[in-house]
Structure 1
């Protein structure tokens, strides 16, 4: 039942100095609810297996669990509860979706909404549409029901809208109820399965802290049932009645808005809303919030800037030939740059994000001030890599480094810590060393060089070469991703058989020769222009590679038959091993990319792994024809190594190690927010590094290091990033490019929530990078220590576990 039947809306305003200006109260009848296009939206009807009628549930490659719960639904008698213990990763999610799509009219505006309660929903969203572009992300609600809504205009591809609920990361429990998809640009009341007999007031403004501009506004919905002739509404602000809010309401639904001016020194808000319809017909709701206004934020920002200038002058005074200021420089660089980012956030109305960063900068500033009182106890000399050739020995990159105090140059292990992956790292090249960063990953693909058939355009490559020169001068290494997934459109139009249904970034048939010809030409042009640049660290061959392709490709079918023939020799031998009665290898179907515990699918997994490794070896050979000494690797997602169902993707660590000189990967380690056994999800990353080091004694390079989930809005402590980088280094990681050095104002962007919005986390990355570089010899010794325990890794076991 509704948890607010006996609650009041209170929002009181307290001023530390002058009294608050009079509050304003606006009461409007709620518009008539629009029809709900979602069937069984409150999950009242339950079908076989405990799944809501008309819905389907699939945990896929997670251990997520869904149940219909009767404890405290938002309305009616039931709601859905979802739990998930599987770490975040690409293509890793559980899903609850409507069996039948919802018809939409292209060009028409719709609003999707739902109610949710959870202390920690993790990464969970409700939505769908073309390429799942509509994602209404969940936020923590403090265990109270809260409504989320998003409006969108239907695309031509969305005439059949597949509504789904996806859980992408761990959550101890999230409850969802009253989904609604309706026409129009606003969410209207979601009518409960049964009419409410009692009045209620629901506070719509979320959170215990209110982040606002120059005024505050809180909203509530009040409901007066038909059985009550009338009810008196009362509103109190700061424990004082607001006469404007004293009025009589007839039965119906009302929107109540209470607003006021946010004075500069106001730090607390309280408002109270109540309805009284006589004995047994009363309701109230109360909310108390800390008030953080933009005026107060600007004042704090000015104070931070002044203190930063004082700190800069102080550190300049302390500089001597015997004191390396690399560590304070990281903090000062963050203070000097993030104040501008905060100012832009305030101008754009990103008040909460601005305040989160203000809190970080104040703490960094205070700590730096204390460090400056005893600099020799906190700031240690850090060797600087001199851009130039590297040698690989075991887990280490060996290069030349200069001691900043003595000027001595020596060959030593170099540990690279940095970011990717787009324009901002290139723009900030000269600035990055002051952030504590000494490597980036950037990309370029065939579509940039071959924009039209018969035309070669080197303009982007020339811009890339300029960045290499800048990077070399700055002492920043570059890992070059050659992005084979950027196949030119004209190639796909000329060779339509390349267009096949696939998963992942590579959206063309890898088995056909035409794609290989384009890739070979592209590499033969690009690599000779880069190979002699001192900043070139290595070549990354592919981005998050998976090979899951529709089996209709004739080239794949022929390769499959040839592989079976070579493996078994005769069809009779295959039949005796498989227990089948095929007449020839031509009769053995190339299966859909899936994992099932039978001989057909097991051998398909082996075939797919061998093919995908050979495709990467082709790319590696193309690189080495032009630049024999440049090391190569692929950005393999480590969760693909260990997930039973992911064996269908063809990513095998041992086979990938055979064409690589570096153990390239894409791994994740997220903060647990107090949930689970560990403070962070370290295990999968560590296992992936150890597996790769077991099959190839070479450094690990995590070229897309996911330490914060995309679109994460919660605070992530800087200690998490520091711990994750050290943990990975001990397990063989000698280079990493953290996802991602970009800022965004699109909450749906993959950049949202990243390190560049979190100054304390950016400082943790920079200072930890300096620690790892300073202690690289000791880290190399830890990486090379013999293992005490061996674990058995078996593809056959994973396939026959059932996927």
Structure 2
């Protein structure tokens, strides 16, 4: 509380909520993973032609200034990768094209999976694929922080064989690095392994981002590669920012090759801000680490945060009302308070919305959106607190009192020639319901309408009910 103008004014600090969360890592599940023969040769681009392009490929920039060459400045495996640039604007039939020249014995009706590792902050429009009419296209996504594996499973038809693999760039990019292309039979990509070479020590998350819906058990898979059998220590750690919140370690005996190591854990009311899960393999001859981003979406945690916010609102209302009685500017505080008072209901609706699963259970699909809204409301609450401490000067708002704004020199003005600015919403059902709330939001314009079909539902029929309803809305707006 503080004393101002002879009055005690109550205000509430933005609470730093201590979440009643629980996060634990509880164990590992380890299983060996086999590889499939790669139908592509020179898939890691270690063999280079005299022109500087990968052996077994052809390259044509066509009607672009795109370039393609093998480089040694970065590689996921081996010593080289493929690098592509392009500064030609996107246009119809404008692209640079690389073609895999060796025959691919794909069979009609059989499932195949194409995959590749990509590294690029801004790849533009680029893809790997082929088939009749180039119907199979695997977009190369942005991956600014490191190598990212993408994959596409497809079934060639009669018009897709013989299959020709293409690499296409269609729009500007500062650079795309590509490595370890794989084409295998089956429904999913298998670990990339160069023929005749032992894999380098590596830990790779199998999901770039993991989202855990609800409370309870969770499992996060990693792919671990080691060149030779070894006794190792597996160390998993979960952190938020620089703070470690959970850890688990275990000794294990791993054979040479590839292993799927799944980190298991339990979550209860965990917050939605990003966490990072790392898995490290430590041994005398092997050491590697990988990490993935995690987010937890807990309905129980969201309900608790919402209730805490709801209990703070009456205090805010009393404080803002006291400031108004003292003649202090509260325009911006009132806007923030109005948002909080109304959006707690919308968040509650999202948290209560449930869907019955085919198995007869229940799921809450809008928890993620509710938590995102709660994060935004936290920022609104911080703004309200700042306005209570140091109120901002009010601005002049036009309010309709039966007079119409004037149009002068292409602008809306008041009677004194001052410009008028309008802010508002389009035609949604909630707009009509919220008419009385809009002045506190700072809204002075809405767009609602009645269509001809509502007035004339059939030949020779007139329905004036929409007109009466519109009139009632306008009368409510005038009173507000």
Give the TM-score, by structure 1 length: 0.39
What is the aligned counterpart of 1:190 among 188, 192, 201?
192
Aligned residue among 23, 28, 31 for 2:31 = 28
TM-superposition CA deviations, 1:616-673 (whole Å, max 9, x none): xxxxxxxxxxxxxxxxxxxxxxxxxxxxxxxxxxxxxxxxxxxxxxxxxxxxxxxxxx
SS in 2 for 1:223: strand
- Residues 472-497 of structure 1, C-alpha deviations (whole Å, 9 max, x = no match): 9689xxxxxxxxxxxxxxxxxxxxxx
- Whether 1:223 aligns to 2:225 is yes
Q: Any gaps of 5 or more consecutive residues in structure 1?
A: 1-15, 402-408, 450-456, 476-803
Deviations 1:354-399 (A, max 9, x none): 6655443322221123224454x254233368999999876x4x34
* Other-structure match for 2:395: 380
- 1:526-537 mapped onto 2 (5 Å cutoff): none
RMSD, matched Cα: 5.9
Conservation of the 8 A alpha-carbon contact between 1:59 and 1:65: no
Residue number in structure 2 paired with 1:370: 386
Residue in structure 2 matched with residue 339 of structure 1 by the alignment: 347
Q: Confirm or deny: 8 A CA contact 1:136 1:149 kept in the other structure.
A: no
Task: Kindly indicate whether residue 203 of structure 2 is the aligned counterpart of residue 202 of structure 1.
Answer: yes
Q: What's the counterpart of residue 266 of structure 2?
A: 261
SS of residue paired to 2:29: strand
Note the 1:250-399 alignment, pairs <5 A: 250-264=255-269, 272-274=279-281, 276=283, 281-285=285-289, 287=291, 292=296, 294=298, 296-307=301-312, 311=316, 327-328=335-336, 331-332=339-340, 335-336=343-344, 339=347, 343=351, 347-348=364-365, 357-375=373-391, 377-383=392-398, 396=410, 398-399=411-412
CA contact (8 A) 2:280 2:290 kept: yes
Other structure's SS at 2:221 match: strand
Q: Which residue number corresponds to residue 236 of structure 1?
A: 235
* Paired residues for 1:87-106 under 5 Å: 97-99=97-99
Deviations 1:151-190 (A, max 9, x none): 5677999777875555767x65542222335443322223
Return the offset for 1:54.
Answer: 3.3
Q: Distance in 2 between matches of 1:260 and 1:237?
A: 10
Cα deviations across residues 81-128 of structure 1 (Å, max 9, x unaligned)? Answer: 3457799xx86998554447989888765544321234x336566466
Work out the CA distance in 2 between the residues paired with 1:95 and 1:18: 52
| Deviation per residue, 1:704-763 (Å, 9 max, x gap) | xxxxxxxxxxxxxxxxxxxxxxxxxxxxxxxxxxxxxxxxxxxxxxxxxxxxxxxxxxxx
Once the two structures are superposed, residues 739-789 of structure 1 have per-residue CA deviations (whole angstroms, 9 ceiling, x without a partner) of: xxxxxxxxxxxxxxxxxxxxxxxxxxxxxxxxxxxxxxxxxxxxxxxxxxx
Contact preservation (8 Å) 2:22, 2:268 = no
Q: What is the match of residue 240 of structure 2?
A: none
Counterpart in 2 of 1:704? none
Could you tell me whether the CA contact under 8 Å between 1:112 and 1:187 is conserved in 2?
yes
Does structure 2 retain, via aligned residues, the 8 Å contact 1:93–1:166?
A: no
Displacement after TM superposition at 1:261 (Å): 0.8
Contact 1:205–1:220 (CA under 8 A) maintained in structure 2: yes
Contact 1:222-1:256 within 8 A present in 2 as well: yes
Residues 279-304 of structure 1, C-alpha deviations (whole Å, 9 max, x = no match): xx423325487764535455444444
Match of 1:72, SS state, is: coil
The correspondence for 1:249, drawn from 210, 235, 254, is 254
User: CA separation in 2, counterparts of 1:472 and 1:55?
Assistant: 69
Q: Is the 8 A contact 1:24 1:259 kept in 2?
A: yes
1:448-467 CA distance string (max 9 Å, x none)? x9xxxxxxx999xx9xxx79
Query: CA offsets, 1:424-458, max 9 Å, x none?
Result: x655554697596958899x9xxxx9xxxxxxx99
Cα distance 1:71–1:411, how it changes in 2: closer, same or farther (>3 A)? same
Correspondent of 1:54 among 38, 42, 58 = 58
Residues 250-305 of structure 1: CA deviation (Å, up to 9, x unaligned) = 333221111111243689666544264x6xx4233254877645354554444445
Is the alpha carbon distance of 1:366 and 1:85 closer, same or farther for their aligned partners in structure 2, counting shifts above 3 Å? Answer: farther
User: 1:95–1:164: 8 Å Cα contact kept in structure 2?
Assistant: no
Determine the structure 2 residue equivalent to 1:212.
212
Q: Where do 1:606-621 residues align within 5 Å?
A: none
* Structure 1 segment 431-580 matched on structure 2, within 5 A: none
Cα distance 1:163–1:59, how it changes in 2: closer, same or farther (>3 A)?
same
Other structure's SS at 1:248 match: strand
Cα distance in structure 2, aligned partners of 1:302 and 1:441: 34
> Which structure is higher in RCO with an 8 Å CA cutoff and minimum separation 6?
2
Q: 1:290 to 1:131 in 2, by over 3 A?
A: closer
Higher helix share: 1
Q: Distance in 1 between matches of 2:207 and 2:198?
A: 26
Equivalent position of 2:4 in the other structure = none
The 1-side partners of 2:168 and 2:28 are apart by 37
Distance 1:59 1:319 in 2: 67
User: Over residues 31-88 of structure 1, what are the superposed CA-to-partner deviations in whole Å (9 max), with x where a residue is unaligned?
Assistant: 332644x67644445568755523544685xx8765532112112333233457799x
